[in-house]
Amino acid sequence: MPGRVVLGVGAGIAAYKSCELLRLLTESGYRVRVVPTPDALRFVGEATWAALSGEPVTTDVWTAVAEVPHVRIGQSADLVLIAPATADLMARAAAGMAGDLLTATVLTARCPVIYAPAMHTEMWEHPATQANVSLLRDRGAIVLEPAVGRLTGADSGAGRLPEPAEIFAVATGVLARRGRPEGSPPLDLAGRRVVVSAGGTREEIDPVRFIGNWSSGMQGYALARTAVARGAEVVVVAANVALPDPAGVKVVRVVSARDMQDAVAVAAAHGGIRGDDADAVVMAAAVADYRPATRNAAKLKKDGQRPEPLALTENPDILAGLAARRAHPPGGPKVLVGFAAETDAAAQAARAKLARKGCDLLVVNPVGNGLGFGTIDNEAVVYGADGTVTQVPRGPKEALAHVVWDLVAARLGPPRPEPC
């Protein structure tokens, strides 16, 4: 059931994009109270926010004092979503300041808080901002990674506000966790670093042609979105994906299986919040088993002669390689998940593949008959190395993603404790 959302708006040019975010929330049935900072009204005025939300808009703690808004708004919220979150606003939130209605609301909120940063690259990369982001994350807030792209003026780089639809997807994912079983944490991947592969690799025959597959990357991106909504730091290694980048995710783009092997190895090893190996790697990409033994430098032309047979050579097994790395501690992800798209998903064959790959979980999903590549729905059977079998009925790919993360989170154990 839709709930109450506080939409905080920082003083950045990207504030105009939050009008679209507000529309998405209200049209989905959420009651949204917009709380801008005083300077945010220089970009989008009070009348616009009030008209779009149908709620009063104030920036200070002195309006309607009898209602104690600086306490009540945060107390009654199911989610606080701040977009754009400027460097100044996050610094004040990290320091626990309450100089306006928005920062006071953040202090009183006992619900999830999401920050969607937007600023120039130099401000985002400054050590002070990065320290504030780490502190907010350690306290349980979700701070999305900014998108990379055009900023104000002629500048480009990291610091662009993620697209409203992608922020909305994270927000609704967090709100959906309100219905979780009693006692389970809403952000059960908080403090965890995960790597997800997505899309389908391409193996070049010549500059024009390639060996590939129909994977769209939709399932991998659904896994990324849901992991962000559960508090994780997420890296996606995307092979030939033509989808908008999920909000809050670092995307590394690759083409071939060997490209993906290198990128996954880098992403999984010694990086992220604490400098250690990734907690989980989920290989949802469709990786080509074979590639041409040689790549032609020029386009192969039809010249009336019978072409030579295309010689193939085997690609590296990325999943098995990650599993092998775990055989020499300390190294490798704590939980390793493989995906297998099959036209004939027999349990015995799935068990054999699970053992051969050396992963903890194998997600076997059928393809064909309206399922699999390029569709919004999916179904699967998840086989565990511990002998468990989890049936996932046909439904949205986000639903399958949540089941996968439920199983991963159970194997990782409780979320990492916040620093004292």
| Strand, coil or helix: 185 | coil
Q: Which of 213, 240, 315, 378 is catalytic?
A: 213
Q: Are strands 389-396 and 377-384 parallel, antiparallel or unpaired?
A: antiparallel
Q: Identify which of 183, 215, 253 has the alpha carbon closest to the alpha carbon of residue 397.
A: 215
Q: How far is CA 300 from CA 98, 190, 207, 295, 304, in A?
A: 67, 51, 9, 10, 12
φ and ψ at 354, to 5 degrees? Answer: -60, -45
Cβ-Cβ contacts under 8 Å for 101 (sequence gap 6 or more): 35, 58, 59, 60, 61, 69, 70, 73
Nearest to 385 by CA among 354, 363, 412: 354
**Among 59, 38, 128, CA closest to 90:** 128
Angle CA 335–365–188, to nearest 5: 35
Strand partners, 27: none
CA 185 to CA 418: how far, in whole Å? 13
| Alpha-carbon gap, residue 3 to 5, rounded angstroms | 7
Indicate the residue type of 265.
A
Q: Mark whether 132 is an active-site residue.
A: no
Active site members:
213
